[in-house]
Amino acid sequence: MESMLSLLSLGADGWGDELLIGAWVTVRLALATLPFGLVLGLAVALAKNSGQPSLVLAGNIYTTIFRGLPELLTLFLVYYGGQIVVQKLVGLFSDTYVEVNGFLAGMVALGFVFSAFSSEAFLGAFKAISRGQNEAGHALGLSTRQTFRLIILPQLIRLTLPALSNLWLVLLKETSLVSVIAYDELLRKTFIAVGVTKQPLLFFTVALLIYLVLSLISSTGLDAIDRRVRRGERRVA
């Protein structure tokens, strides 16, 4: 027992600090992916809700691709495909070798997947909001942008929050996929610790507990946000 605790200690003799650094990288990656995925998902939903055939088709193709592809394959395509594209572009001007950053590749790949699923949540919310509210906003003298920001967006947040909360928890766990491109997030650090110490049960259990704690903290925060956005609703007896 004492030897296991020493393996998890902080400092040169233990792996505790490495695991904490990996957990922080995991949180940073998820937080960086979230706004990118939300904005892109909202844009795709707006395209699919626009009524213009070309935009609707483009939105449907996008969601079909990134909802259908395995997340790991999407990550490989972004990482290695991005490496090839960037290198060819740089090669037009110099012979310098450029390597795609693993954090950026993970953020983009996971953002594509997150946006594909979140766009469906946004689209469902758009359909739940009466078009008459847009007309009412225009009747009050509001521009299209003001109507969206002041009338539609607050309802959109309330309606999509449960689905987006689930997608956030999924995103938090899917950051572990970035370990396959040797980026030092939590699971990558865990694999390194297991390889050195030959203690897989100990370190995988610790990683499990860290992911569980992150999920519990996220759930608590999301519940608080949900209560806040619904504070104006009347309680039905």
**235 — alpha (psi -120 to 50), left (phi > 0) or beta?**
beta
Low-confidence ranges of the chain (pLDDT < 50): 236-237
Give me Rg for the CA atoms of the chain. 22
DSSP string, 48-104: HTS--HHHHHHHHHHHHHHHHS-HHHHHHHHHHHHHHHHHHHHHTT--------HHH
- The predicted pLDDT at position 16 comes to 84
41: closest CA among 149, 104, 117? 117
> Alpha carbon 7 to chain centroid distance?
32
The hierarchical CATH code for the domain 2-229 is 1.10.3720.10
Distance of alpha carbon 45 from alpha carbon 37, whole angstroms: 12
Quickly count: other Cβ atoms within 10 Å of residue 188's Cβ. 21
- The predicted pLDDT at position 1 comes to 57
**pLDDT digits 0-9 by tens, 11-50:** 777 788 888 999 999 999 999 999 999 999 999 999 998 8
- The predicted pLDDT at position 233 comes to 63
**In the chain, where the domains are located:** 2-229
Q: Residues 137, 63: contact at Cβ < 8 Å?
A: no
- The predicted pLDDT at position 232 comes to 64
Q: Residues 190, 3: contact at Cβ < 8 Å?
A: no
